[in-house]
Copies of this chain bind each other. A is one copy, B any other.
Amino acid sequence: MSSDISPLAPKTYAALPPIRGARIETAAAGIKYADRTDVMLMVFDRPAAVAGVFTTSKCPSAPVDFCRENLGGGQARALVVNSGNANAFTGQKGRASTAMTASAAAEAVGCSEAEVFLASTGVIGEPLDASKFASVLGQMAVSASGDRWLDAARAIMTTDTYPKVATRTARIDGVTVTLNGMAKGAGMIAPDMATMLSFIVTDADIEAAALQAMLSRHVGSTFNAVTVDSDTSTSDTLLVFATGAASELGAGAISAAGDPRARGFSKALADLMEDLAIQIVRDGEGARKQVEILVTGAGSAKAAGRIARSIANSPLVKTAIAGEDANWGRVVMAVGKAGEKAERDKLAIWFGDIRVAVDGERDPDYSEAAASEVMKRDEITIRVDLGIGRGKARVFTCDLTKAYVEINGDYRS
């Protein structure tokens, strides 16, 4: 947790209402940090349906392995998350640590270990001493309550400078259901995965398969469309839990993602996911600007996505943004290196509303002063039109500042 709060931090945090069927407690177990909470337990009093997406890393953390195994059961009673240690690349010790945590959580909540979900974030390669918090889970399960969302979001932070929460509502069968979500991010954030840690809970009654289908549909345009530094974590975990408690109020069960009664819910879920994903970018390590990369006119949506990521991950584009320099030549470079079809002489580029390049060269009407004005904003859109097809994609990122280097040159020690 850095002492300097991101200039892009929200001015106020959303007040998250309790979710029927879900209770939360946090504790300070002293895993790595002093004087702060670092463990979060969420209890589902009755089994919640669960859906998840995990890192695509070939070296996933022990908790990711553990969750993947339990996800097949589709049912959750407890979620335990710790910060300060990722329990990644910890071999047999890592598996022993997840086993100890799951066993303690199952006993605390009164469920099977197959209904426990785990996530860990922090340093890679250090053995995680789960005894530090396994012993307090019993007490935490008793004192857990429904109104601790912001506390929970704080407990899972690492280099984040602010907690990330969001809430939405939707109507099912005329009944209002609620979706609450939290996320953590900051560094080791890259596309093609579920970003570091995010947990979303709803009281809607959605079957696990339907929940998974909606989650998978929306992850591409939300969490997988953000990148801080192109580095994919070993621990990325995004879990959605549906307690179903709203069924008691008349919001009937949803068993298929395509059910028209779930349309509003699915839209609210996508919206919530985008909100959390953008909050992660805005708290990217050292970030001073939020950047939206919009690619249109590409050969396909996939090509557009690759080109957008190539721009969003380019150190030269990101440092130019940090320097408030409308350096569109570097955008051309990043389009060119993406390896996707592009015709130089059909390319057009905008910073904000200012078209800086058209037909493969500098826009004759382009005003450097106007473009510089755009670059001074703290939210910048860079749009590239390839002029060769209908493929489009959008990626969110942040600038690359000296603070990123500072934070990451001195994170572990």
Contacts and interface: CB of A to CB of B under 8 A. Distances in A.
A8 to B, nearest CB: 18
A90 to B, nearest CB: 6
B231 A333 contact: yes
Nearest to A409: B323
Contacts of A28: none
A319 B409 contact: yes
A330 B405 CA distance: 14
A302 to B, nearest CB: 15
B92 A361 contact: yes
Contact of A345 (B86, B91, B413): B91
Interface stretch (A51-59, A241-249, A274-282): A51-59
Interface stretch (A76-84, A121-129, A205-213, A264-272): A121-129
B325 A410 contact: yes
A362 to B, nearest CB: 5
A197 interface: no
A252 interface: no
Contacts of A413: 323, 325
A7 interface: no
Nearest to A341: B58
A185 to B, nearest CB: 14
Contacts of A362: 89-90, 125-127
A70 interface: no
Given A57-B337, A59-B347, A91-B345, A332 B125 contact: yes
Contacts of A94: 361
Nearest to A321: B409
Main secondary structure of the interface of A (DSSP, over half): loop
Interface string A181-225: 000000110100000000000000000000000000000000000
A337 B167 CA distance: 31
B190 A337 contact: yes
Contacts of A57: 333, 336-337
Contact of A89 (B93, B332, B410): B332
A408 interface: yes
A338 interface: yes
Given A58-B340, A92-B361, A126-B362, 17 more contacts: A58-B336, A58-B339, A59-B333, A60-B344, A86-B329, A89-B332, A124-B329, A125-B328, A125-B329, A190-B337, A229-B315, A231-B333, A232-B336, A315-B408, A402-B402, A402-B405, A405-B405
Interface of A: 55-60, 86, 88-94, 123-127, 187-188, 190, 229-234, 313-316, 319-320, 322-323, 325, 327-330, 332-342, 344-345, 347, 357, 359-362, 400-402, 404-406, 408-413
14 contacts: A57-B336, A89-B344, A89-B361, A125-B357, A188-B333, A232-B336, A320-B408, A323-B408, A323-B410, A325-B409, A325-B410, A327-B412, A400-B405, A405-B405
The 3 A-B pairs with the shortest beta carbon distances in the complex, nearest first, are A124-B329, A323-B409, A91-B361
